Every structure is written in structure tokens, then in C-alpha cells.
Amino acid sequence: MALIEIIDFRKSFSHKSVHEGVTFYVKKSECLGLVGGSGAGKSVILRSLIGLERPDSGQILIDGTDIVKFTEKDLIEIRKKVAYVFQGGALFDSMTVYENLAYPLRAHTQLAESKIADKIHAQLGEFGLSDAVNLYPAELSGGMQKRIGLARAMMMDPEIILYDEPTAGLDPYNTNKIQELILRLKAKGVTAILVTHDMPTAMNVCDKFAFLKNKIIAEQGTVEQLRNNKTSLIHQFMEGQIL
Amino acid sequence: MKTPELRIPNRLKEQLEFLGGSTLLAKQTFSEMSTKPFYGSLLVDQIYQIGVKSFPLVFITALSTGMVMSLQYGLGLEKFGGKPYVPRLVASTILREMGPVFTSLMLAARVGAGMASEIGSMVVTQQIDAIRALGTSPIKRIVIPRVLACLIVLPLLVSIANMVGNFGGMVVGSSELNLDAQFYLRRVLETSNLKDYLAGFGKTFFFALFISIPSCYFGLNVKNGTKEVGIATTKAVVVASLLILVGDFFLSKMFWIIEKWL
């Protein structure tokens, strides 16, 4: 059964249509690569999955529940189990790394401060960022900010994780680090959607792809299917032959 | 038949959007104020940022206002032998108008600009989205502490400004107008009444909302990158200042009517 399902998703901004009936699904523990040219509206779909944007029409089913009509209050429960990794990390710049990671735990759990501290140190250790615990976001490199953003998103042990260009603008070292982390989370059975232009990373971590073109999902398939089909749109996209 | 599209000029549309948007924001702010969780530490931080850090500015503004008014009234009334009325006039003007209005204008400039730019930057760097994505409310974390801090701090600052303004008046009264300082102080205390004070003090709660709600609204509605942060900051200060000045007339009228009833 699909854990995430988008059916006939339509969205426009100021009379400019961006999506005209996008439909796809992601099964539990799968990782879907959502690809397409710049401005195709990939991030809009991702943001809609946690209610940061509202579609004009269509359905967004998370674990069988349509969240389109959910109020901000209803969405809190969804947001506890669906984590979002922002392109730039979106860390709170007035807080240290520790406070950023403690934020979701303090907001949604009754854990004692000592337990929160243990969890944060364990998480930072796993992400190789133990030394950054008392630093502010401004003191971190772009790659570290993205990794901390990922660590923060994982603090509530979400069932689903949405990656918005997690490797954009990173050097190969940090790209590899992010890739490793995504694979580690995938091994734990976390369902994911990855929006990216970094096709080597996407090919390494995704089970299947959906290609967004002309306001719809123009092509879908597993990595193997697409790798072997030289005429597929995604293959042409990877080769830089189409936008 | 195709329905003709209603074309509204952009400027009017913007103003209508502000009116509707800020009203909704105020409604949402007050409805969320009564529900858990409460972020006490954020409120304390805002009280410090808005109140303590604005104190020097408010102090200097109030002191110079009182001094200038005392001097102008004194010089103007001297030819009619009206110098003994200066304390009463200065006190009444400060308590009813100058104290609340000037303090609020100073706060609108300093705090309103700060709020709009800080929140606008948070929007641009997706921190507001992150607050929502992490299952928390930007209204609770960002707007409520600022609105409450303004509501707590502005009346206190105005009360201090009233005292400082009258002190400034007294200094000029004794040094420039040859009025005895004790006489000046006694006249202020004898002739000012609680109604004068409350008429000015009551306005501060409205002014606090005129500063905080538009500033948060413009900050939260930054859309097209960092360029708009500057525009939002300007709009916040201009709108808050206009609301204070225009609102002051209607609030003064309202308090006069209330005083007549009492």
C-alpha cells in the first residue's frame, strides 16, 4: 500500500498554472526521486506534502488520510511524522546547534532535559558533527548547515522524509556525506522523496523516479528501467538533451 | 457569456490586502494567546529587546520634548503674564498627547523596523517555514511574544516618558523662565489629575497594537527575496506611524467622550 499518494494535484500562482493533474505514489520504505527542470514545481509538491502550500484541487494522501483540507492544527500530527529537509538547512539563526536540535523535542515531547541532551549528542555523533554542538548557524559551513538541518529533521524519528535539493551547491565531500546519511536513513526503512538536480546522488539513493514536465508527471519508472532505456525522458534529462 | 473581470488598481488591492490580512493576523494572535504552549522566555527576551533597549531613545525624546514645550509655552505666555501656567500646560500636553504619541512614534521607528526586517529575513531564509514544518506555530513563537511585549512595555515606557518630560519642563522652567523648581513641581502635581494620565495611558494599548501587528504582518508577507525585506521595513514604519497619528485623533475623541460620562 502507498504511504504517500498524490492524485490529480493542481496548483497555480497568480493565474499561472504550475501543475495540471500530477499523480504519483510512494510505497513504504521507498525512496522516490522527483526530478524535472528548474521551475517545474518540484518544491511546490514537496511543500504541499506537509501543508506549507495548498493545492487548488486534488488529493494528498499520507498513510491513506487526505490532508488537503487539514487546518494548521490538524497538520501538526502530520508534521510530526513527515520531516522536511530545507534546501539551505533553514536553521534558526538565533539558536545554537544544540537548541536547533532540541526544538522539535521540546515542542512535542515531555522528555527531561537530560534525555534531550543525550539524544542530541547521539544524533550529532552519528552525523559526525559533535564538535558543532555549541556553534551558531552563522559559524557553520553550508554543508554543515545542511547536515544539521537533516539531523534536526530526524530528531522526531519521522516515518517520511522530504529532501529539497539536499546536495545543491555542496562540494563532493559534503555531497558524499549527505548521500551516506540518506542511505543510512533509507536502511532504517524511512520513506523518502528526494527533489534534486544532482542525478548521480539520485541514482545512488532512489528506488524509482518521477519526471515532472509540462505540468504533469511525464514519466515514472524504477532506476533499472530508466538506466536501461536510452530513449526515456529522464535519461535525456540526465544527458542534458531536454529541460 | 464570460464574466467581466473586476480590475482593482494595484495600490488599492495592496491596501485592502493589508486591511484584511492584518485583521486576520490580529484575530489569530488573540485566539492563539489563550491556548498552550506559552513561550515565556521568548516574551522576556522581547520585553528586553523592545523595552530595555528602547529606554535611552525614549528618555532623550521625552526630555527634549518637555524642555522645548516648557520653553515655547514660557516665551509665548510671558507677554500675557501667563508663565505660572506653564507647568499645568506642559504637564497636561505631555500626559495626554506628547508622552504617548512621541514614545509610540519612537518605538514604531526602532522596534517596528526591527520586527519587520527580522521576521522578513526569517521568511527569506525559510525559518518561518521550518517553524511550521516542525509542527509549531509562527504566530505563537514569533507574533505573540512581540505583540504582548509591546502591550506590556509601551505603557511602562510612556509612564516613564511622562515623568522625564515633566522633569525636562521643570529644568527649563527653573533655568530659563525663572520659575522656582518646587513651585513648578507643586503646580504639576496640583493641576494634573488622574483623568489626564489615563487619557494618555489608555491610548498606549492601541498604539502597541498599531506598531506590532502591521510590523509582524509586513514581515511575514515578504515574498520575493531580500529586496522585499527593506520594502517591508519601510512599510511597517510608515503604516505604524500613520496609524498612531491618525488613530490618536479618534482615540482622543473617544477618551473625551468617556471622560464626559464619568
3-state DSSP of chain A: CEEEEEEEEEEEECCEEEEEEEEEEEECCCEEEEEECCCCCHHHHHHHCCCCCCCCEEEEEECCEECCCCCHHHHHHHHHHEEEECCCCCCCCCCCHHHHHHHHHHHHCCCCHHHHHHHHHHHHHHCCCHHHCCCCHHHCCHHHHHHHHHHHHHCCCCCEEEEECCCCCCCHHHHHHHHHHHHHHHHCCCEEEEECCCHHHHHHHCCEEEEEECCEEEEEEEHHHHHHCCCCHHHHHHCCCCC
With an 8 Å Cβ cutoff, the interface of chain B facing chain A consists of 37, 125-127, 129-130, 132-137
- Cβ contacts of A202 within 8 Å, gap of 6 or more: A33, A35, A194, A196, A209
Nearest C-alpha in A relative to B42:
A94
Q: Using only C-alpha atoms, what is the Rg of chain A? A: 18
Nearest CB to B135; choose among A47, A91, A108: A108
Residues of B in contact with A104 (CB under 8 A): 134-135
State yes or no: cis peptide before A172, omega within 30 of 0: no
Residues of B in contact with A83 (CB under 8 A): 133
Nearest CB to B129; choose among A72, A86, A152: A86
Say how far apart CA B86 and CA B169 lie, in whole Å.
9
CB pairs under 8 A between A and B: 51
Whether residue A195 contacts residue A34, with contact meaning beta carbons closer than 8 Å, is answered with: yes
Q: Provide ipTM, 2 decimals.
A: 0.90
* Shortest Cα–Cα distance, B21 to chain A (Å): 17
Q: Distance from first CA to last CA of chain B, Å, rounded?
A: 61
| Average pLDDT of the residues of chain A | 90
CB contact under 8 Å between A72 and B137, yes or no, is yes
A6 in contact with chain B, both atoms CB, cutoff 8 A:
no
pLDDT digits (tens, 9 = 90+) for A116-127: 999 999 999 988
Q: Which domains does chain A have, with CATH numbers?
A: 2-238 (3.40.50.300)
Residues of B in contact with A92 (CB under 8 A): 127, 130
- Cβ contacts of B214 within 8 Å, gap of 6 or more: B18, B22, B112, B235, B236, B239, B240, B243
Say how far apart CA A91 and CA A101 lie, in whole Å.
9
- Among A102, A98, A84, A182, smallest CA distance to A140 is for A98
- For residue B139, the 8-state DSSP code is I
Nearest C-alpha in B relative to A155:
B134
Mutation target to probe the B interface, by most B beta carbons within 10 A, among A47, A48, A82, A84 is: A84
A92 in contact with chain B, both atoms CB, cutoff 8 A:
yes
Say how far apart CA B91 and CA B187 lie, in whole Å.
9
Nearest C-alpha in B relative to A154:
B134
Say how far apart CA B12 and CA B6 lie, in whole Å.
13
Report DSSP letters for B56-75, one per residue. HHHHHHHHHHHHHHHHHHHH
Q: What is the pLDDT of residue B164?
A: 96
Say how far apart CA A9 and CA A5 lie, in whole Å.
10
Q: What is the pLDDT of residue A37?
A: 85
Residue A243 has pLDDT above 80, yes or no: no
Q: What is the pLDDT of residue B56?
A: 95
pLDDT digits (tens, 9 = 90+) for A163-217: 999 888 888 888 888 898 899 889 999 999 999 988 888 888 999 999 998 888 9
Nearest C-alpha in A relative to B141:
A107
A11 in contact with chain B, both atoms CB, cutoff 8 A:
no
* Shortest Cα–Cα distance, B143 to chain A (Å): 16
Whether residue A164 contacts residue A85, with contact meaning beta carbons closer than 8 Å, is answered with: yes
Which three cell numbers mark A103? Answer: 526544538
Q: What is the pLDDT of residue B5?
A: 65
Residue ranges, chain B, pLDDT below 70: 1-6
Whether residue B97 contacts residue B248, with contact meaning beta carbons closer than 8 Å, is answered with: yes
Q: What is the pLDDT of residue A237?
A: 79
Residues of B in contact with A152 (CB under 8 A): 134
Nearest CB to B135; choose among A79, A87, A152: A79
Nearest C-alpha in B relative to A103:
B134
Sign of CA dihedral B19, B20, B25, B26: positive
The whole-number average pLDDT for the span A59-71 is 93
CB contact under 8 Å between B133 and A50, yes or no, is yes
Count of beta carbons in the 10 Å neighbourhood of residue A121: 14
Say how far apart CA B1 and CA B4 lie, in whole Å.
9
pLDDT digits (tens, 9 = 90+) for A197-211: 888 888 889 999 999
CB contact under 8 Å between A104 and B134, yes or no, is yes
Q: What is the pLDDT of residue B259?
A: 84
* Shortest Cα–Cα distance, B39 to chain A (Å): 10
A93 in contact with chain B, both atoms CB, cutoff 8 A:
yes
Say how far apart CA A78 and CA B22 lie, in whole Å.
28
Whether residue B244 contacts residue B207, with contact meaning beta carbons closer than 8 Å, is answered with: yes
